[in-house]
Amino acid sequence: MANDKTAHWKDLLRKRLASAKQDGKTEEEKKAEETELFTKYYTEWKGGGKGEVDSFKHIPRFYYRLPAEDEVLLQKLREESRAVFLQRKSRELLDNEELQNLWFLLDKHQVPPTTGDEAMISYESFLKVGEQAGAKCKLFFTARVYAKLLHNDPYGRISIMQFFNYVMRKVWLHQTRIGLSLYDVAGQGYLRESDLENYILELIPTLPQLDGLEKSFYSFYVCTAVRKFFFFLDPLHTGKIKIQDILACSFLDDLLELRDEELSKESQESNWFSAPSALRVYGQYLNLDKDHNGMLSKEELSRYGTGTLTSVFLDRVYQECLTYDGEMV
């Protein structure tokens, strides 16, 4: 292939030189033209010109270097651009008024007969609602979404309540992702331990079920909650968790369940993040910490529960977990 190209350019160069001889040019002019032509064609052949062979110029950039710690201006620019991006994404989500309007439209276009107590909607009416609901709702009114929610209805309809719950869940996931991303200092899609601690600490005042906690207890509560996330979502001890993994697991659902002011006592007892659960864990920890130094030795941890933890198990735990002078926090 290379030989064919070389022959082509040589032939083209000979023709240009023959043409130059017929023009009656001087030897110096001919040499100058010969050099110019040779440079031009050789550069194009090697891929340095502006022809189609410059495919590397069309490869999109896929790596962007993060600004260093001393590049303050670049860091500020990056933080500001991320904040603007997240604000724009937040404005694209449905607000409460738009969700109410969507529910009104769905209820208005329901198609009889009802299945039990559930109102149903056909695909034709589904598309009509999509046209009236506005641009923000467009991504929900697709054949794919309709097919996901289609079950065994003999008329080929879907439940209005199921579809509305689907929309609500999607909006909640996007809102939560944006909220978590605000604490992503690195901007790489994951949270470090300090980032997650800040998120949960600022979340506590919005959870009515934690109103009874004293502020002096907040640090222990945050530590207890964060360790639950990192124990299950960071098994390799990388010190960070993907935001996507946080959203995919049920831990965040359990934490945000504490927004319910009427949460039953049974639900609180079974919820790891509830105040009774955190106080119970704190009490157990204090009972084990006989020397009251805030850390547990192997001997102190061996008394956990009914004292059934074996020495082999304890040795393995202290090999895997971070310790300070042989004691664990």
State the DSSP string of 39-81: HHHHHHHHT-SSSTT-GGGGSPP---PPPPTT-HHHHHHHHHH
Residue from 134, 125, 140 nearest 98 by CA: 134
pLDDT above 90 covers a percentage of the chain that reads: 39
Tokens 């009914």, residue? 306
pLDDT bucket at 41, cuts 50 / 70 / 90? confident
158 pLDDT higher than 80:
yes
51 pLDDT higher than 50:
no
Our measurement of the distance from residue 66's CA atom to the centroid of its chain's CA atoms, rounded to an integer in Å, reads 18
57 pLDDT higher than 70:
no
pLDDT bucket at 4, cuts 50 / 70 / 90? low
CB of 262 within 8 A of CB of 213?
no
Q: What is the pLDDT of residues 168-179, one digit of tens each?
A: 999 999 999 999
pLDDT bucket at 8, cuts 50 / 70 / 90? low
Q: What is the mean pLDDT of residues 187-198?
A: 92
Q: Which pLDDT value is given to residue 190?
A: 93
Q: What is the pLDDT of residues 134-150, one digit of tens each?
A: 899 999 999 999 999 99
Q: Which pLDDT value is given to residue 18?
A: 63
Q: Name the residue with higher pLDDT: 154 or 323.
A: 154
320 pLDDT higher than 90:
no
pTM of the shown model: 0.70
Q: Which pLDDT value is given to residue 54?
A: 56
